[in-house]
Structure 1
């Protein structure tokens, strides 16, 4: 896929993710004018504003320029951004990476892997994020558990670098992007799942 098409689809993905909280704020600003709706509207505005902030800061790192900086990432910031983002999908995040140094590129890949796992947990659940040194590289692993895991053809095709049956769109471009950035670091994604669990892992060289 050429760079211009990939960037256009990623922008569409970001807009799709931000549309819901932004629309909620807009609607509730109008509803707040009704005295009977004011308190409820204020509560929805507060929650939607938090969701919007969490999504913007996470996506700026995972899909934007923050994740391509040189140097080492702040793993505590990565944990906070990812946990806040996934909380709006009814997902609890557990971490075992605090002692593992990560580059910005590795952190970006880990965040994208977490997005993929979260997208399969249709009823919420738990996402476990792990990073361990392996020689001169790092092994990244993200697993998820839920009462129901949803895996579709578009996801598996995108992870293999193949265009899904319905073509590329804002929903299925992110797994392809994840595969691309993994390859840039000399890694290849491994993806396994059952009816109630899913795991994606990658060994990176840089």
Structure 2
């Protein structure tokens, strides 16, 4: 897949995810302009604040997961990833987060793998649940594990195919952009991606990145 084609997939994904909070901002501003009741205006301002925070959190996460955040250094502070994940999924209490990454830094490509696996796992928790995020270095390599647990988990088969590299490059849909990015980054590094699903409401993603 050509770089500009993949960039268009990522842009489509970004626009899709930002449409809801940005649309809510627009609607809230329109309501605020017409509303005279003090209590309703206060409620409008509250909703505007929530939508603004949601938009900012999404942008911070996507900047790390898809963009060039982290500066020009080869290694990125993993605390940035934790803050981005908590901002995206931890704000409303729908998803409980457990961070089990002791490594202080991680390569940019590894960090993108971790963040995009978290994005896929969080999206799969359609009724909320729990996300466990772990990473551990070994002999210069890195193992990443993301575990999702909830009452209902839905993983689009197209995402599973993209993670495994079984999708035709010219048929990747925007919703599978994160999964395809994980596959490409791991494959370029000579690693492997694993996906395990169970009937007990558990989804497990794993990625092994050699030294």
Richer in strand (by share):
2
- Quick check: TM above 0.5? yes
Q: TM-score, normalised by structure 1?
A: 0.91
- What is the rounded CA distance, in whole Å, between the counterparts of 2:130 and 2:194 in structure 1? 19
Name the residue aligned to 1:92. Answer: 96
Point out where structure 1 has 5 or more consecutive residues left out of the alignment.
none
Hey, which bits of structure 1, 4+ residues long, moved more than 6 A?
none
Instruction: Tell me how far 1:87 sits from its aligned partner.
Output: 2.5
- What is the rounded CA distance, in whole Å, between the counterparts of 1:136 and 1:63 in structure 2? 24
Aligned residues: 204
Q: TM-score, normalised by structure 2?
A: 0.89
Quick check: 2:77–2:104 contact (8 Å CA) kept in 1?
Answer: no
Name the residue aligned to 1:187. Answer: 191
Name the residue aligned to 2:36. Answer: 35
Correspondent of 1:203 among 182, 205, 208? 208
Quick check: 2:162–2:176 contact (8 Å CA) kept in 1?
Answer: yes
- What is the rounded CA distance, in whole Å, between the counterparts of 1:94 and 1:5 in structure 2? 35
Instruction: Tell me how far 1:82 sits from its aligned partner.
Output: 1.2
- What is the rounded CA distance, in whole Å, between the counterparts of 1:134 and 1:68 in structure 2? 25
Name the residue aligned to 2:5. Answer: 5
Quick check: 1:68–1:104 contact (8 Å CA) kept in 2?
Answer: no
Correspondent of 2:145 among 141, 145, 148? 141
Please report the RMSD computed on the Cα atoms of aligned residues, expressed in angstroms: 1.8
Correspondent of 2:113 among 104, 109, 113? 109
Point out where structure 2 has 5 or more consecutive residues left out of the alignment.
none
Name the residue aligned to 1:119. Answer: 123
